[in-house]
Structure 1
Amino acid sequence: MIAQAATKAEKRLSGLFVRLVVVAAVATGLMLSACTSKDPEAAAPLALVDKTVDSHSYARPQEARVSHVDLDLTADFQAKMLKGTATLTLITEANAKQVILDTRALDIESVTDAAGTPLKFTLGKGNAMMGKPLTIELPQGAQKIVVHYQTTKDGTALQWLSPEQTAGKKLPFLFSQGEEIHTRTWIPTQDSPAIRQTYAARIVVPKDLMAVMSADRLTPEGERVAGHANQRAYRFEMKEPIAPYLIAIAIGDLGFKSEGSRTGVYAEKATLAAASAEFTDMQAMLEAAEKLYGPYKWGRYDVLVLPPSFPFGGMENPTLTFATPTVLAGDKSLVSLIAHEMAHSWSGNLVTNATWEDFWLNEGFTVYFEGRIMEEVYGKDRADMLRVLGWQDLQGTMKDLTENGNPDFTRLHPDLRGINPDDYFSDVPYEKGAAFLRMLEAHFGRKKLDAYLKGYFQRFAFKSMTTEAFLVDLRTHLLKNDDDLEKSLKINAWLYDKGMPDNVVVPTSAALNEVSAQVLAFIEGASAKELKVDNYSSPQWQYMLTHMPETLTDAQLADLDATFKFSQSHNSEILFAWLQLAIKHRYQPAMAPLHDFLTEQGRRKYVVPLYKSLMAQPGWGVDMAKKIYAEARPGYHDVTRGSVDDIVK
């Protein structure tokens, strides 16, 4: 679906404010008591956030909003189902008669008040994207409701893996992926990032499995379940209010290895040693992040390495980042992903986008912050190379969206009404958002920008933020309400216009410029062995492969592969770049590694472009894409399947 956007900036801004409603609860003090910061300098932006309507939620938080979720669930691996209760604590208007929750693909059995008295409820008409609103009638003054429910096979947040789909091959595995609007498929709650909630949980699992969640682990070893010798119960608590998409769970044959006083790694026991060896720098990264933008406010920072079907590189669930095993290169060459997810502990988890149209406030800030962490820990050269690669990816995405997709999605703040926010997932909110902050850095200098960002995270800690509210804060604390400066920096164009403003600061890297010289030498006839590539890092290999021309011969491709063993690379970024090059040149010896790569992992970053490249090759490519996808699809997460289904028709 293509969003229809007004063409003039004033029309866009007008449309945005039409969507802001005057919330009656502000007058009663409900929203002010729930959301307003004690910092008077944050009051104006937060008042603007309080008026924002999230078009991807049925909730009416101005009448009744969820403030806490208490889960008591049992995992049934045979039925592939979580079953139990969600007890919701509410903040309501004095005369609130109902609360509306978001649900999709849930089997709601009953709803009661805290005393067990049945409450009337209805599941309204909905749609495939948003699910159905669960409307519950409230007794006068009711502050708690208990929803008895179970998940179903049509839910998109949970993936149940058979033992054969895990690294250990002996025991099953379950993990969740709530971003963007998938939490409603395993928890009945108000599934909007603006409605922050604390939570607690008791999770009952088979006794030979471990449960972990994005919360403090109150019973790390589990506890006995009376009358059920084959089960263990794990308890969790998240005391800080978080967006619902950050409530996360995983259950499997897990082990743990400490990496520092506040950091550690969870993984399947079969991969724990490799994961621990890869992430030994986590403590140094955390200290670098705190040095830049203030104290880490979540207690521990641990990483859980998931089975290969996990659809993303990482997911920044508080206290416990979920990570793909595709980053286990064996040489720490891909640990920038951990820097990225760690940065989310400030940008995304501490200060969160209020709607999915404000997604860049999470990801753009985080890419910028990631680069600063990498620079602190690994040096400026490595950070610069990663910035150039990100810029390169953004250029390709911008071109594709403009020419073949949806040019409105080249905006930092698109109109997503009626559009699944999953469809906006691209390099734009990540890399264009980071480029915006680098432009501010170039103008104000790092010292001033760092002071602003540190203050921003302090002012809005544990709050949600819109683009409009951010702009109010930016004007106050960095631009100093200088209208001429705001115009000269093209702030409005950055935040609301398509494409890239002309004051962008293009990143450069001397190390990658040298790679270009080697690519030119190869094109002009040098053999692969003659290239000066000693001690090349992962970004340099990626850059080389993505800058090879479309005129390579089979002999040249064979020379590259024989010399550098690209088809056998354990670095997923290098292998991905090589396979893209091989598909483009129809280089058949690389098709077996391509088959293995697509069937052994389901990370959307790799899977989607590779299937697109195959489908762009008439005949053999289309046939191969369909054949591989038929084999691989059952092992992909629903998020990945949803993307690839639209490609391989």
Structure 2
Amino acid sequence: MIYLLFCLCLFLTYCAEIDVNTFSNYIEVSQEHVHIEWLLDLDQQYINATSQQIFRVNSNKLEKIDLDIYQLDIIVVYLPSSGNILKHNVINQGDQSLLQGDILQIKLDRVYTRGEYIKLNIRYNLDSKGARALGFLRKEQTYSKQVPYLFSQCEDNNCRSMIPLQDTPSVKIYFTASVLVKDARINVFMTGNKLQAMKFKLLNNYDNLQALTLYQFELDIKIPAYLIGIIAGEVVEKSTGNQTYVIAEPHFIDDYAQELSDLPIYMNEMQKYIGPYIWGDYKIVILPASFPFGGMEHPLLTFASPTIIVGDKSGVSTAIHEIAHSWVGNTVTGRNWANFWINEGFCVFLERKILSRLNGLDSVKLDAINGNSSAYTSMQTFGLDNSFSSMHPNTKNRNPDEATSRVPYEKGYQLLTYLETLIKEDPFQSFLRDYIQHFKFQSIDEDQLYQFLLNWVRTNKGDDAQKIITDIQTIWKDWVYKPGLSPIQIDVQTPLFTNANNLAKAWIDGQGQVPEQADDFLQYKPNQKSVFLQYLIDNSELVQKTVLATMDQKYVLTFYKDQKIAYKWYRLVLLVEYKEALEGVHDFVSKVGVSSYLKVLYDLLGYHYNEEAYAWFDENKTFYHPVVVQAIEKILQKYPKKIILE
């Protein structure tokens, strides 16, 4: 009877926590280890692949394994122990195939029972047309224009387009890889420790010797599939000290390493606050401009956009954010994409905690203000009553990429900041350390976090515990599940914010005349400049074109080097329809591949400059990452292409 009750509780837990964005039967059978063997042909943008996978059976009667795939060419599935071929079938999911892929269903050779392990091999092919996780760059798109380049972006659920697997954060796997490349100039890095690189020659079909290089990688800590990453191209690495490294194209490596020379300081400060770093080396790759995100936190191989390289180290908060993921996201992981905030909200909190120690609290308050503004812009786009405007988006029958925004980052940060005010700063630091230790290497949801939080307060806060628990219980559900603004607004006011807003208002009121305090802008840090521009964006209906003309002459904002500032300037330009700066917008969307920037700008272009939107998108399709192309195509559907009559 007790056993039956245990099984019932387990069943109910799984039902409550099921990932709606995977087609795999990960509850009945879970992946333990994934090994890939890839032969890369970057010239043809093609990969010949085999994946060996080990599964643990969790049910009493298992006859099949369902895996997630997206436009993979599956050749054969077989048992490596016997060589026996297993029947497989690709089950098309109809409209879902455009969003989340299909099911690779594998019929097993017999019935397996709980506790058994299954090892099988899958041979398959993939190319640039189907693998939306992979960005293939022609050699002409690199700096040297001599060697093609490959990079991946698996988050959210895009890993299924390069490996057949259980593509869900609920499952963590050991990962190993062997990658062969034909061009000796191509260097390969992947998630994990590089074991060796061997050069050898094979006899090809024409009796000629083909030179190949083999790269091997191993990660001995389990990770979810979305953290698998690869780059391959003409890249080199350079040490920045204390087991930290920068990787980039050779032309940029010295400048990038100098910009990121404080990596050891960031790592040291993070460890002092949250505890030991467990992953080994820390390497950050500055990718080509078509990389679609600001950063991506693969263990031992962080990816970052070149937009963080400004020249004065003011853009490297992204590096600190990605370092924080080594604890929150990579070590403790949100169970599914509705729990994305468990990764990102905690990460923003840690990022700003370290930045406050390095740059001061007022600067961090400006970061929070800018973050809130970006989150609210997303909420307005989604709709203030849409679940995507909550920390717990409903992504059933949707690609979770569609829900990506600053909302879980900022509302999660605000919740943790509020909890810190209740628990107090030093005890809250202890809570965070205990939380990471308790859930180390696990995938969890907000209910597990919630119960742990209440128990921790009950155990550690003495006479204050009950009041704190009551305060938490009062706000928790609304904060996590309710769309729109947080139920309690965190005070982030600072004179830096007021000063920037006053200057922006003076520009509006001057109607094209230069305000007396205009030179203040030249002394602003980037986050204060961002506040200034956001005020103008929020009040764009009051901004005259002459204001932008004079402002551009004074500050030279068109073609501005800091691309975060340039992005906000171009938003303002499009809202006000200041045509004189359109060439700057054109240049920006042709050189910057960051998804969040492009989606907003193409939305504005589609409405205000329809012809340019379609022309510039067609011009830059091959530059953008496949995920970005899909997102922009969906945005432009709102603005049908206008027919220009001669």
The TM-score with structure 2 as length reference comes to: 0.89
8 A contact 1:160–1:175 mirrored in 2 = yes
- Secondary structure, counterpart of 1:634 in structure 2: coil
Report deviation, 1:124: 1.9
Distance 1:117 1:266 in 2: 43
- Secondary structure, counterpart of 2:272 in structure 1: helix
8 A contact 1:264–1:302 mirrored in 2 = yes
Q: 2:248 aligns with which of 263, 267, 289?
A: 267
8 A contact 1:528–1:563 mirrored in 2 = no
Distance 1:98 1:104 in 2: 19
Report deviation, 1:528: 5.7
Q: Which residue of 2 aligns with 1:360?
A: 341
Distance 2:321 2:618 in 1: 33
Q: Which residue of 2 aligns with 1:215?
A: 192
Q: Which residue of 2 aligns with 1:38?
A: none
Q: 2:200 aligns with which of 220, 224, 232?
A: 224
Matched, 1:622 2:592: no
Render the CA deviation track for 1:380-429: whole Å, top value 9, x for unaligned.
232221111112222332333336xx622222113221111111111211
- Secondary structure, counterpart of 1:160 in structure 2: strand
Matched, 1:121 2:100: no
Q: 1:642 aligns with which of 620, 626, 630?
A: 630
Matched, 1:59 2:24: yes
**Amino acid corresponding to residue 580 of structure 1 in structure 2:** R
Distance 1:463 1:223 in 2: 38
**Amino acid corresponding to residue 74 of structure 2 in structure 1:** I
Matched, 1:443 2:422: yes
Matched, 1:132 2:102: yes
Matched, 1:527 2:506: no
Render the CA deviation track for 1:82-136: whole Å, top value 9, x for unaligned.
2121000111146432222111111111111122222222222323123221222
C-alpha change, 1:470 and 1:534, in structure 2 (3 Å) is same
- Secondary structure, counterpart of 2:146 in structure 1: coil
Q: 2:401 aligns with which of 417, 422, 427?
A: 422
**Amino acid corresponding to residue 42 of structure 2 in structure 1:** F
C-alpha change, 1:487 and 1:294, in structure 2 (3 Å) is closer
Report deviation, 1:486: 4.2
Matched, 1:491 2:476: yes
Report deviation, 1:647: 1.8
**Amino acid corresponding to residue 495 of structure 1 in structure 2:** V
**Amino acid corresponding to residue 149 of structure 1 in structure 2:** Y
**Pairing of 1:160-199 with structure 2 (within 5 A):** 160-199=136-175
Report deviation, 1:506: 3.3
**Amino acid corresponding to residue 623 of structure 1 in structure 2:** E
8 A contact 1:479–1:485 mirrored in 2 = no
**Pairing of 1:406-485 with structure 2 (within 5 A):** 407-478=386-457, 482=466, 485=470
Report deviation, 1:554: 3.3
8 A contact 1:65–1:99 mirrored in 2 = no
**Pairing of 1:298-447 with structure 2 (within 5 A):** 298-402=279-383, 407-447=386-426
Is 129-138 or 472-481 further displaced after alignment?
472-481
Q: 2:593 aligns with which of 582, 602, 606?
A: 602
Distance 1:502 1:247 in 2: 36
Report deviation, 1:434: 0.8
Render the CA deviation track for 1:575-626: whole Å, top value 9, x for unaligned.
1111111112221221111101101121112111111122232xxx112212
Report deviation, 1:50: 8.9
Q: 1:516 aligns with which of 480, 484, 501?
A: 501
Q: 1:86 aligns with which of 51, 65, 84?
A: 51
Q: Which residue of 1 aligns with 2:555?
A: 564
C-alpha change, 1:565 and 1:155, in structure 2 (3 Å) is same
Report deviation, 1:51: 6.2
8 A contact 1:359–1:429 mirrored in 2 = yes
Is 373-382 or 246-255 further displaced after alignment?
373-382
C-alpha change, 1:265 and 1:529, in structure 2 (3 Å) is farther
**Amino acid corresponding to residue 134 of structure 2 in structure 1:** L
- Secondary structure, counterpart of 2:523 in structure 1: coil
8 A contact 1:70–1:88 mirrored in 2 = yes
**Amino acid corresponding to residue 607 of structure 1 in structure 2:** L
Q: Which residue of 2 aligns with 1:8?
A: none
Q: Which residue of 2 aligns with 1:590?
A: 581
C-alpha change, 1:478 and 1:223, in structure 2 (3 Å) is farther
| Alignment size in residue pairs | 607
Render the CA deviation track for 1:293-314: whole Å, top value 9, x for unaligned.
1111111111111111111111
Is 495-504 or 162-171 further displaced after alignment?
495-504
Render the CA deviation track for 1:478-519: whole Å, top value 9, x for unaligned.
366848614664112112222234323132222222222322
Distance 2:28 2:636 in 1: 44
Q: CA RMSD in A?
A: 2.5
Report deviation, 1:289: 1.0
C-alpha change, 1:456 and 1:223, in structure 2 (3 Å) is farther
C-alpha change, 1:131 and 1:522, in structure 2 (3 Å) is closer
Distance 2:549 2:137 in 1: 38
Distance 2:364 2:440 in 1: 27
Q: Which residue of 2 aligns with 1:5?
A: none
8 A contact 1:48–1:469 mirrored in 2 = no
Distance 2:522 2:41 in 1: 52
C-alpha change, 1:27 and 1:595, in structure 2 (3 Å) is same
C-alpha change, 1:488 and 1:200, in structure 2 (3 Å) is closer
Distance 1:270 1:487 in 2: 52
**Pairing of 1:96-111 with structure 2 (within 5 A):** 96-111=62-77
Q: Which residue of 2 aligns with 1:579?
A: 570
Q: 2:524 aligns with which of 533, 536, 550?
A: 536
- Secondary structure, counterpart of 2:521 in structure 1: coil
C-alpha change, 1:54 and 1:261, in structure 2 (3 Å) is same
Report deviation, 1:156: 0.8
Q: Which residue of 1 aligns with 2:36?
A: 71
C-alpha change, 1:50 and 1:203, in structure 2 (3 Å) is farther
Mind listing any 5+ residue stretches in structure 2 that lack a counterpart? 111-115, 204-208, 460-464, 638-646
Q: 2:492 aligns with which of 503, 507, 511?
A: 507
- Secondary structure, counterpart of 1:346 in structure 2: coil
C-alpha change, 1:49 and 1:321, in structure 2 (3 Å) is farther
Render the CA deviation track for 1:350-385: whole Å, top value 9, x for unaligned.
111111111111111111111112112232232221
Distance 1:497 1:423 in 2: 18
Distance 1:529 1:216 in 2: 57
- Secondary structure, counterpart of 1:610 in structure 2: helix
Report deviation, 1:147: 0.6
Q: Which residue of 2 aligns with 1:12?
A: none
Distance 1:49 1:95 in 2: 17
C-alpha change, 1:479 and 1:271, in structure 2 (3 Å) is farther
Render the CA deviation track for 1:426-450: whole Å, top value 9, x for unaligned.
1211111111111111222111221
Is 507-516 or 278-287 further displaced after alignment?
507-516
C-alpha change, 1:168 and 1:509, in structure 2 (3 Å) is farther
- Secondary structure, counterpart of 2:85 in structure 1: coil
8 A contact 1:98–1:135 mirrored in 2 = yes
